[in-house]
Structure 1
Amino acid sequence: MAEDTHRPDYGQMLASISVPVLLISPDHCIDYANDASEAFFGRSKRWLEGQRVDETLIFASERMNAALRSFDSDISAQDMELKTPHGLITVDISLSSVSKDPDWRIAIISPRNGGREHIGDQRDGGQQQAMGAPAILGHEIKNPLAGIKGAAQLLARQVDEKNVALTDLIVNEVDRIARLLDQMQKLGRSEPAELAPANIHLLIERAIRSLRAANRAMPEISINYDPSLPDVLIDADGMVQVLINLLQNATDAMQGRFDGVIGISTRFVMSGALRDADADRRSIKLPVEIAISDNGPGVPDHIVDELFSPFVTTKRDGQGLGLAIVRKLVQQMNSRVLFERDAAQEQTIFRLLLPVASGKVNA
């Protein structure tokens, strides 16, 4: 093992990270390897520690190997083929200097899953094929998440106590996104969501906190909750994603406006909108309503009828997947999403109609 009188004591903080992490000394040797590294390399920590990093991390790309040996700058690369005793494994890798000890570096290795899942069946028609696109996108996003989570866990050990809440937010959001991306990879299929009772107001607050952490310039939010609402029967993570997508759309719609206001209200709709259940042809009451409104310019008339279709967007940098994902997640929760434009109030409104936790009733 490399000798260095200024060796940083990072072993304890690296041990709990769930992906392979290596602490690399100034002389390019592995000074510490966590438990996940043992499982990944199939070697004991005792064997790994002391090995040169460029003799342990050997990539199929000679350019990547040269960058690893040079140590001139930090490295962040995706889809790199790493040579192992078991053959080539595709990984994402991040190699960065330690802030307080810049001669030392930390390598975070995120193994990628082998191969994409088969996305849908082409015989299911055009919509099935189109909804396969979020599954491919989900695959590409999910793979670097383990590295992000590991970096956040590492950062949590170094920040002030008052900032730990921010690193916790990163870790929790990464876990939530990973679970949702598992669902995205199945958007072309008709698998039911895992439903459970949930307090909708707590989920709304989760969505707002997540957006505010990512966007300090959010418009004013006007909230009007009905505190008497019962729990709803939904997939909590899926609903948080639905709310984030709708709130982000409202935020984007008011860019450049100084009087922008987002409205969020909940209420019990006595009429109880009904939706046929495909499996047993019974009906589901959807009496709990969430309304998300904004006073932006509204949706152009020419895309209103295709608003929830994949790849339909007015945003220059948008992918047109946000509302398609909203519709799919809402459908999986036996719920409904509606769009309307209130011309008199100059408001765009999305309404979510949800079932109560008591479940299905006969119509």
Structure 2
Amino acid sequence: MPGFHQQLLENLSTAIVVLDDHLCISFMNPAAEAMMEASDNRLHGQPLSDLFVENPSATDALLQATRDANPYTKWEATLYLHTGAQLEVDYVVTPVQAPPSSLIVEFQPRDRLKRISREEEMLSKQETTRTLVRGLAHEIKNPLGGIRGAAQLLSRELPSPDQKDFTNIIIEEADRLSNLVDKMLGPVRPPDIQDLNIHEVLERVCQLLDAETQGSVTIERDYDPSIPDIGADREQLMQVLLNIARNAMQAMLAADNNGETTNRLVLRTRTQRQVTIGSQRHRLVARLDLIDNGPGVPEQIKDQIFYPMISGRADGTGLGLSIAHSIITRHHGLLECQSEPGNTSFTIYLPISC
């Protein structure tokens, strides 16, 4: 492929795969490599079936397009990738007759549009929730301050130490409620963005988790050492990772599996290209996956776990994931969750400045 035209294809955000007349891979641009989780260097010259499998009729349609030079579009196709993942896409097939004859296949993932729509809806709902919480916090903290002040004044007037115990209870409970309201509001200060190595942060988190679990949970690391430094607030990012990991550990330890399954938490890092977060498309992002083999998120709260006061545990506050989501949003990132029994994955996307 001529250098200039290849450079154009490599800079497209659309996933492009070029096939020869035998349906072998001639070229994949970076967007296609990211979508298919495969490398052009490794698959160059290999049959399309090494990249993904669809169905026999789809292969017949591609061969016919090569023979007849007829372009076509296929909607809602399901591709089974070589990694075992499943991908829903629309794709356009365009024959090119100039020698050597080939097919240009343009892929558009359907899940991207669904995710953007779902993310926009979640952000809108969470902003409404935060506005409500801020108003509620103001209405709660004002009378709490009055109650606490009155209890302090009353304590000074009481002659008996036994009676002062009751005013101390009022003061302590007022402080506890005030702290709870502050936690619902999330971090007050904006992120202190500095360049940092994400793996150094993860290793610190692993040290804390090992100390807390004392070997009852196996922590597996699956790092991509090529990830460059990212801009983030170290303390706030650690808070996010610890909130998610502790939730996972508590869920695994609370589940009664009769010792049949080893509790396992996997920390995985990767880079991912051409990721849309909100309304902005990022050329390169760091992807962090925290995967556990616990019982999973209860079905009835799956769509609400990032809202305040929603928890799957009887003793949970329901604030950890809400705060984590708020912090990642302030970093212009994205936090998602996919869960089923035995496989729960929290995924964090953080932009990388190129």
TM-score range, shorter chain: 0.3 to 0.5
Q: Answer with 1 or 2: which has the greater Rg.
A: 2
TM-score (norm 2): 0.46
TM-score (norm 1): 0.45
